[in-house]
Amino acid sequence: MRAKTKYVTMPSKTILPERDAAREPVLECVNLGITLGGIKAVEDFNFTLGRTEIAGLIGPNGAGKTTVFNLLTKVYQPTTGTILLNGKDTHGMNTMQVNKAGIARTFQNIRLFKNLSVADNVKAAMNNDMHYNMLSSILRLPNYKREEIAAHRRALKLLSIFDMQDMADVRAGSLPYGAQRRLEIVRALATNPSLLLLDEPAAGMNPSETADLMDNIRKIHEMFQIAILLIEHDMSLVMNICEGICVLNFGHIIAKGTPDEIQSNPAVVEAYLGRKKEA
């Protein structure tokens, strides 16, 4: 169902953070769109993300936020438009190739490898960094041992970002909910992305967990100097850590800008944020 009101699109050029302005953006979407079952789930999605920018994608349920993630990671093939990743067109790539090209993501409904240990979840994501072949693994040749030890060390180091190194041998499916969400982020980081997509990372977390998560996202951002795009309904998190925000409604961008601009944008307030109750 499409909205009757035609939204006035805000000035569409995203202002990249100053430190990124001189460099080529990590992600550029031009007129991206997809029709799913006859409905234009996303249309005219124009968006640019700076090399080290943290941006938020917000909007009401069903606005097409996760669909945008699925388009970026090629879970769905876009019907229109172009996605440039590090200046390279991702047309014709599949999910695996997009990941190799630098996008890693988490999922709204957690998708861990439940029967693998925590460490193995992370090491599975390092698969493309490891080079020993089948014969080395069957015969346990020296390069197998060398690479496995290196991978294990790196996995523990990544897990330590979230203080999870002690859980390395635990089966991922038996982790508590919050830890599963954190493990998904670690797993995504293990693929060395230049752009990290987080799909509702704080969903189901309590305020103190959310605060921790916020610190951790900042920490990741500082450590790896990568771009992060996140979908989130927790406005305190979004407004606190995002430098740019993009608001989607009915598959269309209705506003883009800094947190302050978004909070005072009447269209966004109308469609999503809601008015403060006057006493």
Partner 1 sequence: MIFLNFFISGISLGSIYAIIALGYTMVYGIAKMLNFAHGDVIMVGAYVCFYAVSRYGMNPFVGVVLAMAVCTSLGIVIERFAYKPLRQAPSLAVLITAIGMSYFLQNTALLLWSSNPKVFPSIIGRGSFKLFEGKLSVSHVTVLTIATCVIIMIVLSLFISKTKLGKAMRACSEDKGAAQLMGINVNATISLTFAIGSGLAAIAGALLCSAYPTLMPTTGSLPGIKAFTAAVFGGIGSIPGAFLGGLMLGVIEIFAKAYISSQLSDAVVFGVLIVVLLVKPSGLLGKQLQEKV
Partner 2 sequence: MTMRRLINLKRVEARRIYLTYFIVIAAYVICQTMSSTKFLSSSMRGMLVPICAYMVMAISLNLVVGISGELSLGHAGFMSVGAFSGVATAILLQKVLPFAPARLAIAMIVAAIFAAIAGFLIGIPVLRLKGDYLAIVTLAFGEIIKSLLNNFYFGVDSGGLHFSMLTDTTRLLKGGRLIIRGPMGISGIQKIATFPAGFILVMIALMVVFNLVNSRSGRAFMAIRDDRIAAESIGLDITKYKMMAFVTSAALAGAAGALFAMNYSTIVANKFDFNTSILILVFVVLGGQGNMLGGIIAAAVLTILPEKLRQFSEYRMLLYAVVLIVMMLATNNAEIKYFLSRLNPFRRKEEAE
- Asked if 154 interacts with partner 2 (CB under 8 A), we say no
Does position 238 interact with partner 2 (CB under 8 A)? The reply is no
66 contacts which partner out of partner 1, partner 2, none, CB within 5 to 8 A by kind?
Answer: partner 1
The set of residues, in sequence order, having a beta carbon less than 8 Å from that of 57 and lying 6+ positions away, is 65, 68, 229, 230, 231, 245, 246, 248
- Min dist. Cβ of residue 69 to partner 1 (A): 8
Going by C-alpha positions, the residue among 94, 125, 127 that lies closest to residue 112 is 125
Per CB under 8 A, which region of 23-31, 185-193, 237-245, 254-262 contacts partner 2? 185-193
Question: Are the C-beta atoms of 58 and 272 separated by less than 8 Å?
Answer: yes
- Considering the complex, state which of residue 66 and residue 210 has its C-beta at the smaller distance from partner 1: 66
8 binds partner 2 (CB under 8 A): no
User: Residues near 263 by Cβ (< 8 Å), separated by ≥ 6?
Assistant: 239, 269, 273
Among 7, 107, 144, 224, binds partner 1 (CB under 8 A): 107
Residues 40-79 that bind partner 1 (CB under 8 A): 66, 70, 75
Nearest of 264, 259, 260, 263 to residue 54 by alpha carbon: 259
Which window, 11-19, 33-41, 149-157, 248-256, contacts partner 2 (CB under 8 A)? 149-157
Nearer to partner 2, 156 or 211 (CB): 156
β-strand pairing of 227-231 with 195-199: parallel
Q: 177 is written with which tokens?
A: 């909910």
Chain residues that interact with partner 1, rule: CB under 8 A: 66, 70, 75, 107
